[in-house]
C-alpha cells in the first residue's frame, strides 16, 4: 500500500471525529474526502471515519484511506454515530437527515433556497448546517462553489452539443459547423464562473457565442478573457428575447448568492425559439433559471417542453467524479481542518466568510436569502450558535 500510516493516530484533547459517508443521491459518484484529506486531518490529531466504498465512484479504494489513518466503517449509520463533523458532497437525502442530531455539524452543498422541505427537516434535526455554496472569501467570491462551477460550465457545453444531435432529439446541428456551413449559435446567460467556462468550451468547439450579464465591468473582463472572440451582451429582458430566435443552444448560468435563481426565459418565450433547440440549466440546484426547468438525472437527463429540449441535471459535476472529487476537496480541505480543529463557533468567529456558510443552527435559519426563499424567520448566526456547543 506504500508509505503511510496504517492505523489512525491517537486522538488528543480537543480532537474532532470526522465522518465521510457514501453519497446516496442518484447518479452521484463523488466523495467528500480523499486520502490526502484524511492524512491532513489525522496528522492534525483528528479521527476520520470513512464508509466502506465511499470512494469507489471516484476510483479511491478503502485501502488508500486506511493507509493514511482512516477507520473504515461498514455503513452510514456508523459514520453518523461515530462522527461529530459530517462532510458530504450533495445535500442530505431523507435517510441521512434522519441520522442528524444536534451534536452534528454538517458541511456540504445544501442549496436550501429551492427546497423548503429539506430546510425544515434540517431545522428539526438541530444540527448545524454549513453550506459550501454560501462560504465567501475576503473578496466576496465563492471559493467552494467555484471548482464545481468550472466543471459544470464545461459539462454544460459538452452536454448541449451532444443533445443537439438528431438521435438525441436535437436539431441535428454540429456546434462548430464546417467550412461552408455556419456554426451553431450559443447563448450563455450569466457571465460568472459557470458562464465563462461554458463559453470557453463553446469557443473551443468553434461555435458562435454570445455571453450575457448585467454587470458591465464583468462584460469588459470577459471580452478581454475571450480575446474578442465572443459577443458580450447586456442581459436585459429584451436583448435576451431578441436573441432567442437565433439560438441553437442556451446555457443558463445565473447565480444569486444562496438565493433562488430568477427566471430569465419564460415558457411563453419558448415559442420564439427554433424547434429542437436545447436549453441547459446549470442553475437548477437553485431552482432553475428557466420557467420550464425541473431537476433531471444523468440516467434520464432531458425532457421536452413546447418542442424545446431541456437538460437540467442537478449534479452535473457528478458525471466526472475523478476530476470533480479532487477539485472540490482541494478547495474544502482548509475549511474542514479549521472546523475540526477549532469547532464551529470558534471557526466562524475566526473567518467571517465561513460564517456566511452557516445556513442553519440550533433549529434556526441563519442565512437571510434562504429564510426569505422558504418563508421562515431569519436568526443571526451568532445568536443561533450561542446555543451550539463549541
Catalytic center residues: 111, 285
- Alpha-carbon radius of gyration of the chain: 22
Neighbours of 43 (CB within 10 A): 13
- The tally of CA atoms less than 13 A away on the side-chain side of residue 166 is 2
User: How many angstroms separate the CA atoms of 386 and 390, rounded?
Assistant: 9
User: How many angstroms separate the CA atoms of 39 and 49, rounded?
Assistant: 12
User: Cα–Cα–Cα angle for 295, 170, 323, nearest 5°?
Assistant: 55
User: How many angstroms separate the CA atoms of 366 and 108, rounded?
Assistant: 16
All cell numbers assigned to 307: 418542442
Residue whose cell numbers read 458562435: 208
Amino acid at each position: 500500500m506504500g508509505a503511510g500510516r496504517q492505523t489512525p493516530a491517537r486522538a488528543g484533547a480537543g480532537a474532532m471525529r470526522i465522518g465521510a459517508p457514501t453519497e446516496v443521491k442518484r447518479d452521484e459518484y463523488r466523495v467528500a474526502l480523499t486520502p490526502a484529506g484524511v492524512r491532513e486531518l489525522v496528522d492534525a490529531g483528528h479521527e476520520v471515519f470513512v464508509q466502506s466504498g465511499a470512494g469507489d465512484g471516484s476510483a479511491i479504494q478503502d485501502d488508500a484511506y486506511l493507509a493514511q489513518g482512516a477507520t473504515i466503517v461498514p455503513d452510514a449509520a456508523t459514520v453518523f454515530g461515530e462522527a461529530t463533523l459530517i462532510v458530504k458532497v450533495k445535500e442530505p437525502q431523507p435517510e441521512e437527515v434522519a441520522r442528524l442530531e444536534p451534536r452534528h455539524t454538517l458541511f456540504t452543498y445544501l442549496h436550501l433556497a429551492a427546497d423548503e422541505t429539506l430546510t425544515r427537516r434540517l431545522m428539526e434535526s438541530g444540527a448545524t448546517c454549513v453550506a459550501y455554496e454560501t462560504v465567501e472569501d475576503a473578496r466576496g467570491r465563492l471559493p467552494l462553489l467555484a471548482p464545481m462551477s468550472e466543471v459544470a460550465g464545461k459539462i454544460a457545453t459538452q452536454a448541449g452539443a451532444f443533445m443537439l444531435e438528431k438521435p438525441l432529439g436535437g436539431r441535428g446541428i454540429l456546434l462548430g459547423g464546417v467550412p461552408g456551413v455556419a456554426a451553431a449559435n450559443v447563448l450563455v446567460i450569466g457571465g460568472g464562473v459557470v458562464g465563462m467556462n461554458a463559453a470557453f468550451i463553446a469557443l473551443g468547439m468553434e461555435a458562435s457565442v454570445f455571453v450575457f450579464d448585467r454587470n458591465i465591468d464583468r462584460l469588459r473582463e470577459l471580452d478581454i478573457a475571450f480575446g474578442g472572440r465572443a459577443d458580450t451582451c447586456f442581459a436585459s429582458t429584451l436583448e435576451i428575447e431578441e436573441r432567442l430566435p437565433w439560438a441553437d443552444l442556451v446555457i443558463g448560468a445565473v447565480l444569486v448568492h444562496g438565493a433562488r435563481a430568477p427566471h430569465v426565459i419564460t415558457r411563453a418565450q419558448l415559442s420564439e425559439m427554433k424547434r429542437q433547440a436545447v436549453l441547459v440549466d446549470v442553475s437548477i440546484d437553485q431552482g432553475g433559471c428557466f420557467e420550464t426547468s425541473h431537476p433531471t438525472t444523468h440516467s434520464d437527463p432531458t425532457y421536452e417542453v413546447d418542442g424545446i429540449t431541456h437538460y437540467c441535471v442537478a449534479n452535473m459535476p457528478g458525471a466526472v467524479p475523478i476530476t470533480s472529487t479532487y477539485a472540490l476537496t482541494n478547495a474544502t480541505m482548509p475549511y474542514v481542518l479549521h472546523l475540526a480543529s477549532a469547532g464551529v463557533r470558534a471557526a466562524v468567529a475566526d473567518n467571517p466568510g465561513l460564517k456566511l456558510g452557516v445556513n442553519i443552527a440550533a433549529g434556526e435559519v441563519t442565512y437571510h436569502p434562504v429564510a426569505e426563499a422558504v418563508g421562515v424567520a431569519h436568526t443571526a448566526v451568532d445568536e443561533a450558535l450561542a446555543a451550539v456547543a463549541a
